[in-house]
């Protein structure tokens, strides 16, 4: 049983479910999600609280050991646990790399992300990284892409056709499908997408290392899409 925060105990405790209710998408919907609601009682102090559990097809983590994607749920308890201020450590400022062949508006967003990181505006940095991913898809004329299930396999509809999505999760797969990036790189870009989504929807503030890792990933992808085929080692 997952422990959740109890306001009276001021700690995460085990609980008993008193009532529950569930809503979910239809099996034929393009986007699948599930939302569960619980009235719970702390098994320590018997305080009553409200708990929600949410999961959708975008909420997955890639397991490096099994090489599979695993869905995860987000739990939110009310009253909520007080948020602690993160211990923010940033060693030094970043110097933007020169990408001579990257489309100007994408490069400008990249510069803004570096500026935001250097000014410790990690919230804006996360939004900028996601925007770069979306801009790359647009610049590469990607209009849609396949959708993967929990086992990392392409989703097939009732007509035997591959399900495609115009949302960013599909567009990233479209980059891979059209040969712009590798499958492993698409998995990492999905992490950048999730980082931007969580920052926007949950109003979370990412840690500096998370943003730094995201910037490193974006720099590699920009190099491979826009710069690599322009290199001539004999010159």
Per-residue model confidence as pLDDT tens for the chain (235 residues): 678 899 888 889 999 999 999 998 888 887 888 899 999 999 999 999 999 988 887 777 766 677 676 777 888 888 887 766 555 555 578 999 999 899 999 999 999 999 999 988 898 999 999 999 999 999 999 999 998 887 778 888 888 888 898 999 899 999 999 999 999 999 999 999 988 888 877 777 888 889 999 999 999 999 999 988 777 667 6
Cα separation, 22 vs 6, whole angstroms: 22
Cα separation, 76 vs 80, whole angstroms: 7
Burial of residue 39, with CB atoms counted within 10 A of its CB: 0-12 exposed, 13-18 middle, 19 or more buried: middle
Considering the entire predicted model, what is its pTM? Answer: 0.60
Residues 6+ apart with CB under 8 A from 19: 38, 39
Cα separation, 147 vs 76, whole angstroms: 27
In DSSP terms, 50 is beta-bridged to 39, 78
């Amino acid at each position: 049983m997952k422990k959740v925060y109890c306001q009276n105990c001021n700690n995460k405790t085990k609980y008993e479910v008193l009532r529950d209710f569930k809503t979910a998408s239809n099996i034929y919907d393009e986007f699948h999600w599930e939302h569960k609601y619980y009235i719970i009682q702390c098994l320590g102090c018997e305080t009553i609280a409200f708990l929600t559990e949410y999961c959708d097809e975008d909420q997955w983590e890639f397991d490096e050991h099994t090489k599979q994607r695993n869905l995860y749920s987000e739990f939110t308890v009310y009253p909520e646990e007080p948020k602690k201020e993160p211990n923010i450590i940033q060693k030094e400022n970043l110097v933007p790399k020169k990408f001579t062949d990257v489309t100007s508006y994408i490069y400008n967003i990249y510069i803004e992300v570096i500026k935001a990181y250097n000014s410790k505006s990690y919230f804006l940095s996360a939004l900028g990284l996601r925007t770069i991913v979306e801009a790359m898809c647009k610049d590469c004329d990607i209009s849609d892409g396949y959708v993967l299930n929990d086992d990392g396999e392409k989703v097939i509809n009732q007509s035997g056709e591959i399900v495609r999505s115009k949302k960013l999760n599909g567009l990233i797969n479209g980059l891979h499908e059209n040969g712009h990036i590798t499958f492993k790189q698409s998995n990492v870009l999905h992490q950048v997408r999730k980082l931007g989504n969580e920052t926007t929807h949950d109003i979370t503030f990412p840690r500096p290392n998370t943003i730094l890792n995201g910037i490193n990933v974006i720099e590699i992808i920009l190099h491979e899409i826009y710069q690599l085929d322009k290199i001539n080692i004999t010159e």
